[in-house]
Each structure stands twice: as C-alpha cells, then as structure tokens.
Amino acid sequence: MQTETKICQNCKTEFVIEPDDFSFYEKMQVPPPTFCSRCRFQRRLSFCNERHLYKNNCGLCGKSMISMYPFDTVFPVYCLPCYRGDRWDPLSYAREYSFNQPFFSQYKELKSHVPRASLVRQGDIVGSEYCNRASYNKDCYLIIRANYNEHSLYSYNLWDSRDCTDCFNVHKSELAYDSIDSIDCYRVRYCQECRLCRDSIFLFDCRNCTNCVGCVGLRNKQYFILNEPHTKEQYEDELKKLGLNTTVGLSAFAERFEEVIKRSIREAEIETNCVNSSGNWLTDCKDVRDSYQSRQVEGGKYLLSVIDAKDCMDYSYWGRGTELVYETSNCGYNASRIRFVNESWDSCHDLTYCDNCYASENCFGCVGLRSKQYCILNRQYTKEEYETLVPKIIAHMNSMPYSDSKGRIYKFGEFFPTELSASPYNKTAAYENFPLSRGEIEEEGYVWEDSKEKEYAVTKSWRELPEDITSVGDEIFKEVILCKTQDEAGSKNIIEERSCTKAYRIIPEELSFYKKMDIPLPRYCFNCRHYARFKKRNPLKLWKRTCQCGGAASENGVYKNIASHKHRAGKCPNEFETSYAPDRPEIVYCEECYQSEVV
C-alpha cells in the first residue's frame, strides 16, 4: 500500500491517505473515505448539539423537561426515566430492508420515528438538571461535556473539579474562574494553559506557580507580577494597588497583560508524556496524530476529546476502554469494532451505522436499541440471517448510493449525511468549529434555526452594575440584566455569532462564588462569555512551520533569548506541526528551543 492523493468530494481540495491509513481501513473492513479529514470532522460535529437547551414536555408521560431538542422535533422526545424505562419497545419501529431505495433514505425514515432521550447523562446526577452530556455531577448548573464535578457553573469540558465557574477544558481544579485549558489549579482567575498553579490571576502557560499575576511562561515561581520578581510584601502592596477586584482594575490590567503575551514565545504543541504524537492538549499518548484534547490513547488519528482508547481514527468524544473505532462520535465505555456510529455506549461491539444503541452488538442501521444483537433497521434476525443480509446491504449501498441535496454521494464507508442530523447546523458543535453564515449553511443544504426572540423585561443594564462584588446583595436575584453585547458596535453580527441571550440573571450559587473569589459581576451573558473563551483557543488544525528562534532572539527581534540553544547563534532549523497558523503574530518555538527558555 502506497500513499494516495485524493480530491475531497465536499471541499474539492486534495488530501493524502497514508499507507498506515490503508492498513486501518482494511482492519475495519471499510473503503478509503471520499471526504478529507477536516470535512469528516465537520460532518461528525454537525450531529452534536451540546449547549442549546429547550423547555419541552415528555412525549410519553407528558411531564415538563429540559431537552436538547425543541418541541417541534419530528421524532418523540422522552424524559430520561421514560426513555430508560420499559413502556416502549425499540423493536416495534422495525423496518424490513428494501433494495428499491438507498440505505440512508430508509435509515432517515426509521430515525424520524424512534424516540430519543431529552439529554445525554449517565451515572449519579444530583441537583444538576440543566446539564447536558454530563455524568456524575452534583449541584452543578449549565456545565456541558462535564463529568465528576461539584458546585460548578457555566463551564464546558470540565472534569474532576469543584467550585469552578466559566471554565473551558479545565480538569482536576478547584475555585477556578474564567480559565482555559488548565489542570490541577487552585484559586485561579483568567488563566490559560496552566498546570499546578495556585492563588494567581492572569497567567498564560505557567507551571507550579503561586501568588503570581500577569505572567507568561513561568516555572516554579512565586510573587511575580508581569514576569518581574517581588518580595512577599511588595507583591501584596502592588496587588492592592492594581484593584483586580473591580471591573476598571481588571480591564486596565488585562491590557498590560496582553502586551506581555505579545512579547513572549509560544510552544508549538501542548503535549505531556507523549511519544510520536502531534496535535494539541495531548497527555500520555503514543502514536497519535493530528488529535486534540485527548489522553491515554495509543494509536490514533484525527481524534477529539478521546480518553483511554486504542487503534482509532476519526473519533470525536469519549473513549473509556474503546478499541477499533472509526468515523464515530459520542461513543464509549468498552466499545469495540464500531464504525459510523453516534451516541452509543456500554460495551457496544460490531455496530455499523447505528445511533443511540446501548449494550448492543452486531447491529446495522439501528436506532435506540438496548441490549440487542443481530438487528437491521431495528428488525430482529437470527445470526445466520444477519450475516447473510449485511453483505448484500453493503453491496446495495454501493450500487444504489444516497445523494444529498448538493449531489454529494454516500456509498458504504461514509458517515451519516449532515442533512440527517437531528439538530440545525447552527446549534451544533460544527458551528463553533466550522462557522458558516446563514446563507452558507443553507447553500450547503444544511438547516439553520432562528433563535426564538424572547421578550425579556430587562430591569438593569450591565452599565448599572457595581464595580466590585462587596455591595451586591440578594436583591440582584430579582434583576434581569441587559448583556453588554447588545450595546457593542456591530452587535448584530456578534449576536448572531455568539447566540447572545440578550439578557441574563445572577443565581444564588453564582453570587456566592463571586463573593468567595472577590470577583465583580459579569457584564456578558453565559453564551457570550463562552464564545469569548472559545476564541482565545487555537483551532483544531495543524500547519507545518519552522521554529522562529533566530539564535540570540526571535526572528522578528521582539523576544530576546535568555539561554544558549543547541543550534547556537544561527537560526533554528527545526520543523514541526502546530495549531498556530503561519499568518498569526505569535512567536512560535520548537520544543527544544522553548524548553531552553522556560526551564
């Protein structure tokens, strides 16, 4: 098997299939893809609504519930107790396979009738009603893709943490606020790419730092401000002068901190204990390529947020003992040999083109099954019948392929067409990572959903909020606060992009957290705050670049090296892959040069 260059049938650009890719496809018994890796990634994410929740009524018991599907969804939506109960039978929706119409047309018909769960949640959930894709949480509110947390609010991809608010991809932390891509931190605010930091504010890429403010690239430091050392007394005096418990003080210092960041170097990739791997935010990985936010993976490519997995490709979200997974999203817990699967877990094996199937194996084109095997389109077969029919269906998918509204061809070997997604494009994770205008979405044949205009009786503008938290009392719970986005220049485009909720409230748990951390009230709604954090992160994409270390300084002369490097006075020749695009202003060093500067 040799390297092969193909043209993506979606974006029309070239993409390369490596010899190892062919080996994996052969192992999974699938043909090579016709979409490039980026378009495959976008397509999988288009099936994943995470953060948009609706008030709905259970289609079985009629009780009010919170749902990730609106009330006018074509299929029934059940509350979690009803969905997991025995008052309905997934096999009652069975279809006999027809060789007179494409597979995906038949699958679409089945999917439009089988009930779905209102939210994705597993394990013990205590006092955390407004959480989605979340498990084992206690007393949490609006945390998404979050597991094993307590007393945390308004966060995304939060794990094993306690008393955290407004965080994005934060793990094993306590009392963290407005922090991004950080691990093992305590009582930190406005920190990004940090580990083992304590009692600090405005840090970027710091490790094991305590009582530091406005610092970048520090290791094992204490009492630093803007990367300058201070005595304990000097630090405490200066901290009082900065007024970082007020909105004015925070705004002024944020500008100074930004200047420090601009003059600092960046590491090409964020990896910890990884071997032969590329991507960003990887930990304990081996032979993992072009992957992100993943840990404990051996042998993987094109992964996002996968934990504890082996031999996987084009896999987004979850893991936990999975092996041999291809073109799959939101699946895990001891799953193996699954391909083209969404929302399926609990020891699923040998599933193909399945959605919302649990503890099932040897199923093809099924929706909503539980503890079943040898089913096709939710119809039960014997083992012999199943093994005879599946090869015929695969051959039929190739001889009578499905064609979507844009003429993209779907034979066996492609993930579900985006137009089969249960969620509008602009309400999915695809919209955040692959933003398109409404016109572009509709031109692609996808669905756009207008946000329902809510007539909020705004009682207070963000401009009227106090400068600090000390004077705020329980009366704030009665207020409906106008989001600052509504007053910003060009706000129409910003509102569409951020899905601004126009107004917001402060809840008791939130006020308690702000007082504990001495943080002023937020001026933006939850959605706007989320998108602001999202934009601070690098994209889930790699570019090939050369180290920007010029010897005594960076190539542009902005950063002056503090140590001698292996390549000495000349320009560093090292090449690497990085999520910093070539046209970005950051100064990016290879791992070798970077470690020489920060250790």
User: From CA 582, how far away is CA 343, in angstroms rounded?
Assistant: 36
User: From CA 93, how far away is CA 110, in angstroms rounded?
Assistant: 7
Q: What is the pLDDT of residues 207-247, one digit of tens each?
A: 999 999 999 999 999 999 999 999 999 999 999 999 999 99
Residues 29 and 139 in one domain: no
Q: What is the reported pTM? A: 0.94
Which 3 state secondary structure label does DSSP give 327? strand
Three-state SS string over 191-205 comes to EECCECCEEEEEEEC
Give, rounded to a whole angstrom, the gap between the first and last alpha carbons of the chain. 43
pLDDT band at 569 (very low <50, low <70, confident <90, very high): confident
Domains held by the chain: number: 4
Residues 466 and 507 in one domain: yes
CB 376 within 8 A of CB 366: yes
Residues 527 and 553 in one domain: no
Is residue 245 domain-resident? yes
How many Cβ atoms from other residues are within 10 Å of residue 370's Cβ?
16
55: which residues sit within 8 A by CB, 6+ positions away? 64, 65, 66, 67
Which tokens hold the place of 562? 């503090």
Rg (CA), the chain: 25
CB 373 within 8 A of CB 361: yes
Residues 522 and 557 in one domain: no
Identity at 346, one-letter amino acid code = D
Phi-psi region of 415 (alpha: psi -120 to 50; beta: other; left: phi over 0): beta
Q: What is the pLDDT of residues 455-514, one digit of tens each?
A: 789 999 999 999 999 999 999 999 999 999 998 866 666 666 668 889 999 999 999 999
pLDDT band at 138 (very low <50, low <70, confident <90, very high): very high
Is residue 550 domain-resident? yes
Residues 530 and 549 in one domain: no
Is residue 217 domain-resident? yes
Residues 251 and 151 in one domain: yes
Range of the domain at 22: 4-38
| Beta-strand relationship, 336-342 and 349-355 | parallel
What residues does 595 pair with on adjacent strands? none
Last residue of a domain, one of 488, 519, 536: 536
Is residue 599 domain-resident? yes
Nearest to 12 by CA among 34, 41, 44, 33: 34
Residues 590 and 478 in one domain: no
Nearest to 259 by CA among 532, 558, 547: 558
Q: Where are the alpha helices (DSSP H) in 85-165?
A: 103-111
What residues does 14 pair with on adjacent strands? 7
Residues 182 and 140 in one domain: yes
Q: What is the pLDDT of residues 26-85, one digit of tens each?
A: 999 999 999 999 999 999 999 999 999 999 999 999 999 999 998 889 999 999 999 999
H/E segment holding residue 169:
strand 168-171
Residues 529 and 547 in one domain: no
pLDDT band at 125 (very low <50, low <70, confident <90, very high): confident
298: which residues sit within 8 A by CB, 6+ positions away? 285, 286, 287, 288, 309, 310, 311
Residues 532 and 590 in one domain: no
What residues does 135 pair with on adjacent strands? 122, 147
CB half-sphere exposure, 286, CA atoms < 13 A? 4
Is residue 496 domain-resident? yes
Work out the percent of the chain whose per-residue pLDDT is above 70: 98
Q: What is the pLDDT of residues 366-423, one digit of tens each?
A: 999 999 999 999 999 999 999 999 999 999 999 999 999 999 999 999 999 999 999 9
Residues 489 and 594 in one domain: no
How many residues make up the chain in this entry?
599
CB 182 within 8 A of CB 175: no
User: From CA 575, how far away is CA 547, in angstroms rounded?
Assistant: 6
Q: What is the pLDDT of residues 20-35, one digit of tens each?
A: 999 999 999 999 999 9
How far out from the chain centre does Cα 92 lie?
Answer: 35
Residues 575 and 490 in one domain: no
Last residue of a domain, one of 267, 289, 316: 267
